[in-house]
Every structure is written in structure tokens, then in C-alpha cells.
Chain A
């Protein structure tokens, strides 16, 4: 029952769970005009988002039929507010850019616009993508549609919440240490972080340049593949984008999994991982075996080393990347600066939130004289160690399957007092960014009515393969079609371990 668009009591119009391809068909058939389709979702945003705060800004698009050409013609979507778009403001979730209007658009946006996709708004996020709970936004915390007292994850929490609540068919995100996969897991939607360099970073405001990667959050692997087809490819405005040829990511979706080696990292199923989350993930892996996959135990040690390396390297890069926010040429400037130093120091301390300042200070220290070798250089070596572990593991299997997060979505404020606890959220996602590999989060069941994510990791540029695995899984379960209560759905359904309308 993939891409189920048959109307039912959860989804009378059939639009909420309609796949992008279904929506395209309906538009081509003339069931809806692009304008009415956008209006349908814009109305949901207006009515339902106040409960979520998943949008920082919205816009009612004026669509002329003529300009709607391309593979995504008329399909509404939202951008994480980290992507520069010439219309409207681009805030990155910060007071620093609260009123900033980008004079250019990100390559990702230009590519989507060129295919006729219709931007409905910019989604909320942790300030400068620094956070795992979306509590670090100047524009307020975002609520998880499955329980508004809980966080949606971060930093792409707005995009994940908006897609989960069916406010948009898909949204963009960025993933530096798990910022697409972790919120996708918490919100029960499908998210993909492609291989580092697969999608241009031009116009995507930098957090940590050697980790940042743009990606997609949608309901299904198929939708992720459809969108990824449009945004991938080398961009001469981003030196780190890869010339690797872009394949059709939808081509392999229907491929059976027979003979596929699925690596399961022992070390990830440790006391760090909540038992009931582990059960759901195991069930999902079992489902993949039923689909023809072969389970192989693999080693992925040193997740703690990966975490430590990341929390030295990412802040170091960030401390430098965020130096341009100095109150001189754009963005926030403090009132009546006494001298140039006062202008720098107050504009930055007033314009940045606490978590951003924490990481800038840590990163500045890690790079400062006398500590470079002990901190930054050492962490870079550790990064190589972790990348080596993955190379080893992926020589024994085709894809890696495991948990995305140690727990399900936690309560707002639960970890905000303790950054260290918050950072543990990224234990299973960060290693993937260190190695620059493609990773996905796929809805794989519920614990106490809260979604659990299955993480799939592939070899460099093997997005098509993990999308294939995810799609085959989604042919057998319906977790990705569950709609949070109060957002047009009857919720997660009765039996938590039910693999839904498995064929």
C-alpha cells in the first residue's frame, strides 16, 4: 500500500499522504490547479502551525500556469530557513539575521524553482543549525506533532514537524551531525542526508563546512528520491561539491533486496540505546530480512571517539565561519557602538544565542595558539580513524542498518540544562558525517506513541541503494503513512509492533 492516496477517514481528500508523483498526476489530470493545491497546504499551515511553530515565515505564492514547467511543477514545499532565497527573509533561526534579505538564492532553491516547485515558507530551526531539539531558535521552540510537549529534534526540526503534520509534501533540510535524520526519526518522517558533496552548499549558510550537507525530508523514500534527483549535482560555485555523475535515484527503488548484505553494528545496540527503541529497530531489520536481505554483524566501534572528534571539529569550523557576522556589512548591529571593538563584541553577543556562543568559544579555544595540535589536529586524526571503521564495515556489507537516536523524542527542556546530554542525541548520526557517507532515517515503529527511526547508511554516492532499501521496507509497513493525531489523522494506530498493511 505504498503512496496510498485512496481517500479514507484519516485523509478524506487523499492529499495528505499523496506521494509527489500522485500529486503530479492529479495536477496533470486537472483534479487540482497548482493554485488550489498550494492553497490547500497554505490553509493547513495557517490553521495548524500555531500549535507547532514549525514555520519562521510563510508566503502565499502567486502562480501563473505558464511558469509551471518541470518535474515538480506545482508541488508545494518548504525550505529550512538556512537556505538563502531572494524573496523574503533568511534568518537561520537567529536574531543576527532576523531581518536579513538574501540578495541571491541557494543553488538548491534555484534547482527546485527551475522544476516548478512552489515555496510555501521557511521552516524553523536551531540557530545556525546548532542543536538537536529546536529549542535554540530565536523564533521559539518547535513542537513535535506527535506530542506538543516534546521536541521535534533538530536542527531541521521545523522541516520534520511540518512534513509530519502534513503541512507540506516535502521540505529541505541540512545535516551536519544528524540534523536531518534525528528530527526525521523523532517526527516519524523519512529523511536523507546524501553523500558529502552530492548537493551544493552554495547559499546554504555554513555551520561546519566539512560536515554540512543539504538533504530532503519527506513522507517516503520515493519522495526523497524524486526531490534528490532535482537538487543533486556538481556546482561550480561550491568547490566541495562533487563531479560524481548523478544517477536517477528512483531507478532502483523497486529492485528486490534478495542477496543484499545488511550490516548491523553490534556496538550500537548497547546500554546507550533505549531497549524499546532497540526492539523497534530490530523488528525493522527483521522486516528487511523477510524482504530478502541477509543480516551480517559488523563492527562500528568508537562512537564515543566520533562524538568527541565532532564536538571539537565542528565548533572550530563554526567559530571561523561565524566571524563574518560582525555587524559591519549586513545583519544585526548593536545600538550606538562606542568604537569598533564595542561594535564587534556587542553586535555578536547580542545577536547570537547562548548555544552558538558556547560553540564559538569552544571552537576558538580549540584553534588557539598552543592547543591546535592537541585539539583540532588530534580530532582530525580521530576523524580518519572513524572513516576507516566505516570503510572496513562497508567492505563486509552493502548497507548498514541501525538506530538513528538513542531514545524517542524527549520532553522540551529535558536536556536544555545539560548540553553534554543533548550532544549524546547524535551518537549514531555523527559518525556518518565524519565519514561523509549518505544516511537515511526511515519511520520504523512507535514507542508510547512516539516515532522510532531506522538508520540506513550506504557507501559514498550510493544514495540509490539506501533509497531502494528504504522503499522496499516502506512497501511492507505503513509507519510512514501514520498521521499525528490532530493533524488530519487518527494517529499511530493500535498495535505498536504492527507492521501495518504489510503485503
Chain B
């Protein structure tokens, strides 16, 4: 909670480590399937189980996906990278070590642009990515299935991951979430990760420290592990910032440690301190040779990259005259961008109106249903028709929103069908409106006198009366004109 920190005279420093499971068919070092949700251990082959004598063989798909990510954030791709072993004992770590990249990661350097806040409060910021390296996921320890024992399922063991390490450059939970969301969007844009946080495909560790304003060196940091939703990320960081400030203000000092966020209690609790930390004994994995990548190969893969969020946002501003904020919101997820572009291809005339609706009523609907734009009950073509009816004056914005709600409820209905059956068509025939206006003037002599006496504010009252009489169907523009001519004459 940056505001809290600011009030207390502190500033916050946050760095994130994001683990993204790569969407390969097979595992990083074996030919076993990576599909989620199989029976325990049916997708763990001898290599994944770390049985004696078997050896790892590196999956080209994982290399390609990690490289695509590096290219997507304008990072440097290592021509020669290599694997190291991180040694520690845990029942769901089959070999007693994790194969990862310490000395020579595949991706180093790189930038990600984020947008924080909303509307005119929104600001943009660039976060630097230190490195992204390939590694294998561990299995799962299941504590619930049995009374007195823990069950080990190694289906997940050997699933390829990239660990994306940011510089400690985020100054608030909001910035951290914006950065995490941006990475989440990028990996899905380029199709290297399904981004499913419930299934653990995208997990975030947050390194949080605070320091008194003006301080130059960083405060002692704590690491909050395995945050698997953006809300938990936000809450965990906010809690941790307050906790650390309280510790410091009470004259104690923050202990460097790994902490866990407990969503039920909405707090972080100590997992282990630095003193208890393992000595991982990293060294080059002798079972794997250096990975060499040619410039040609890198360029061939670069050519397969789709249009990325930032480029899309630039294009929306240039082609459709959208402002930067709208353009960024519309491109924040690939699904939303695809939906927006589908609406435009069906009805290109009014991009600004389309932008407003996609960010407004549609976004609200999707939030309510907790789905993304690709699953929207109102299809892009249908929304396009609705926009057309607004532009041709058939529907006021107010009526259009009513129609939209009906469309959301009943996907079989069409825009024009609803307009018909509900008789929502606007009254644009001026003679009809003139008659109504005259009646209103006749019925309210007092107000007319007062208005003519200079009480301009009463104009709205007359408009209201006319709209009421038509059940809001009168074309507001026409009503205004006629009222004016009658009253001011």
C-alpha cells in the first residue's frame, strides 16, 4: 500500500520472480506428456522419476519458447547458455537436484512497459528484466490424501519453466501487479504459457523491502513465495509493507526471510530465515552440454512472433485515434484486443465508440461473469450491430445499454429483434415531438413563466417531461431543438 508507506515517510522497493510453465507438449528433459490433471504419476517417466542410469535430453521446444520470450522483451539471447544443478533434498524433487541455469541463462536484460492507475491518474513506467532462465518444475506433495503420510505425485516433475527475474524497480503493490499482469499478457500473446494461475502455470514470488525516504541503500528484504493470483500478490505485498514499516517503527529490524501468504488470514507468515536457508551447491550439470544458438535460428524464430501489446497500442493510437490509456487497456490482454479488432472489422466506422463499449459495458459484463473476452456471450459482430444502431440514431446510449443487457441474458436474440419487440425505436419524427412539447408547455404555465423570467436551469425540467412522456424514446437532440424554438420565441 504505497500510500500508507508514503504517509509513514517510507518508500517501497519490490522485485518479482515469476515462474511461467512453458506450453510444450513434452517435458524439458524427457518425452513424457506435460498435460495437466492426469492420474498421479502416469506422466512421470524414468527420467522424471530420477531412476538410476537414466539421463536428461533437452527439449528444443522449451529453448524456442524461452528465446521467443527474450525477443518479446527486447532482451539479449545467449548464443551459448548452459545448465547447472541446484542441489537440495525434498521428497518431490526426484533427483535430489533441480536442473536450472545459474551461470549462463538463455535470456538476460530486457524491458517491460507497464501502465499503473486508471484514467487521467494513470502513468506509464518501464521495468527492467534482469534475466530469464530455463529450469525444470518439481513434483507435488499431497498432504490431504492420507492421515499420517504425504503422497508424492511426480507428473509435474520436469515440466519446463522459465523463471523471469525483474530488477527491484517497483515502488508499490499496484506497480508490481501491473508488471506481473504485463508479463502474463506477453507470455500468452506469444503462446508460450497458458497463464492459468489456478493450475499453477503462472506463479509469482515477491521480494519486498522498505526504506526511509532519502535512504540510498536497500532495506532488508523478505521473499513471499508462490502467489497464484494477482489479488493475492496485491494483498500480500500490501500486508508485508505495513508489517515491515511497523517492525521498523517499533525500533526492531526486518529479518531477511522467506514468507508465505495465507489468503484466509490475509497475512504473511514466516517460512524460513536466511540462516536456515539451504546451501544449494550449484555446479555445471555434467549430463548436459552447452546450448548453442545461431543468429539465423534466432531470426527465424523472431519472424514467428505475433504483434505484441505495446506495438498494438501504438497502432491503435495511430490508426484509430485512440488515446494512450484506452489503447493500453484494450491491448492489455490478447483476448480483449482480438475482440476489439473483431468488432472493428464488422463495423469500422466508429473505433472510439467501439473502444468505449469494450472498456465499458463489455468489461463490466466479463468481470461479472469472471470470463475473458473470447468467452463473451455477446459476440463481436452483435456488438458491432448495436454500435451501428447508436450511430444511425435508432438507439440512444441509454437504450443501447438496455439492449446489451438483454443480449447478455439471451444469446439467441438479435439487436434489431429486441428493438422491434420492445418498441425501443427512437421517436425522430419532429411533428410527433412538437405535439408533445406543446402539451408540456401548456401543462406547466408556471415553469414556463419562470423560465422565460430567466430561470434557465428549468430547461432540463422540460426535457425531462418530454422524455418521460415518450418513455425516453424521443431523440434528445430533436427535443432540445424544438423546446428551444418554442420556449425562446
A interface list, Cβ under 8 A from B: 83-84, 90, 92, 97, 100, 102-104, 106, 201-206, 208-210, 236-240, 316-317, 319-320, 323-326, 328-331, 340, 344, 364, 367-369, 372, 376
Contacts and interface: CB of A to CB of B under 8 A. Distances in A.
A301 to B, nearest CB: 26
Contacts of A106: 53
B95 interface: yes
B301 interface: no
B87 interface: yes
Contacts of A201: 55
A256 to B, nearest CB: 39
B97 A344 contact: no
Interface pairs A-B: 9 shortest CB-CB: A323-B96, A209-B286, A367-B281, A210-B286, A324-B50, A203-B53, A205-B52, A84-B53, A205-B53
B54 interface: yes
19 contacts: A84-B53, A100-B52, A102-B53, A104-B51, A202-B53, A237-B55, A237-B57, A239-B57, A239-B58, A240-B288, A319-B281, A320-B281, A324-B51, A324-B96, A325-B52, A329-B51, A330-B52, A340-B150, A372-B281
Contacts of B89: 323, 326, 344
Contacts of B85: 320
Contact of B54 (A83, A203, A316, A323): A203
B49 interface: yes
Given A236-B57, A324-B52, A368 B279 contact: yes
B323 to A, nearest CB: 52
B283 A376 contact: yes
Nearest to A208: B286
Contacts of B150: 340
B286 A317 contact: yes
B53 A329 contact: no
B152 A328 contact: yes
A90 to B, nearest CB: 8
B52 A367 contact: no
Interface in B286-311: 286-289
A364 B52 contact: no
B56 interface: yes
B84 to A, nearest CB: 11
Given A238-B57, A319-B281, 5 more contacts: A104-B54, A239-B288, A320-B96, A328-B94, A329-B51
A208 B85 CA distance: 14
B91 interface: yes
Interface of A is mostly: loop
A369 B55 contact: no
Nearest to B51: A330
Nearest to B154: A329
A480 B289 CA distance: 39
B189 to A, nearest CB: 32
B364 interface: no
A324 B53 CA distance: 11
A202 B94 CA distance: 18
Interface of B: 46, 49-58, 85, 87, 89, 91, 94-97, 150, 152, 154, 279, 281-283, 286-289
Contacts of B55: 201-202, 237-240
A239 B286 CA distance: 10
A320 B53 contact: no
Contacts of B94: 324, 328-329
A331 B52 CA distance: 10
B58 A202 contact: no
A316 B94 CA distance: 19
Given A320-B85, A328-B152, A206 B279 contact: no
A103 B46 contact: yes
Nearest to A331: B52
A210 B87 CA distance: 18
B396 to A, nearest CB: 68
Nearest to A238: B55
Contact of B97 (A84, A238, A320, A376): A320
A202 B287 CA distance: 11
Contacts of A240: 55, 286-289
Contacts of A236: 57
A206 B56 CA distance: 13
Contact of B95 (A323, A331, A372): A323
Contact of B283 (A84, A92, A316): A316
Contacts of A330: 49, 51-52
A208 B283 CA distance: 13
Contacts of B287: 206, 209, 239-240
A367 B51 CA distance: 23
Nearest to B277: A369
B281 A364 contact: yes
A100 B46 CA distance: 14
B376 to A, nearest CB: 46
A169 B57 CA distance: 34
A102 B91 contact: no
Contacts of A368: 279, 281
Contacts of A325: 52
B283 A326 contact: no
Contact of A92 (B52, B95, B281, B286): B52
A324 B56 CA distance: 14
A163 to B, nearest CB: 23
Contact of B53 (A204, A328, A340): A204
A342 B283 CA distance: 27
A329 B286 contact: no
Contacts of A323: 87, 89, 95-97
Contacts of A319: 87, 281
A203 B58 CA distance: 17
Contacts of A324: 50-52, 94-96
Contacts of B52: 84, 90, 92, 97, 100, 102, 205-206, 324-325, 330-331
A296 B46 CA distance: 50
B283 A367 contact: yes
A301 B401 CA distance: 88
A272 B270 CA distance: 58
Contact of A206 (B53, B57, B154, B288): B53
A368 B283 CA distance: 10
Nearest to A200: B55
Given A239-B58, A240-B289, A320-B87, A104 B281 contact: no
A209 B54 CA distance: 11
A340 B89 CA distance: 10
A323 B154 CA distance: 17
Q: Which of A84, A201, A320, A331 has the most CB of B within 10 A?
A: A320
Contacts of B282: 367, 372
A222 to B, nearest CB: 30
B157 to A, nearest CB: 11
Contacts of A331: 52
A125 to B, nearest CB: 14
A328 B95 contact: no
Contacts of B283: 316-317, 320, 367, 372, 376
Nearest to A316: B283
A320 B89 CA distance: 10
Nearest to B41: A329
Given A240-B287, A364-B281, A202 B54 contact: yes
A325 B49 CA distance: 11
Contacts of B49: 329-330
A328 B64 CA distance: 34
Contacts of A103: 46, 51
A58 B58 CA distance: 37
A102 B150 CA distance: 25
Contacts of B91: 326, 328, 340
Nearest to B281: A367
Nearest to B31: A237
Nearest to A197: B289
Contact of B279 (A100, A328, A369): A369
A81 B403 CA distance: 77
Which of A97, A236, A237 has the most chain B CB within a 10 Å cutoff? A237
Contacts of B57: 236-239
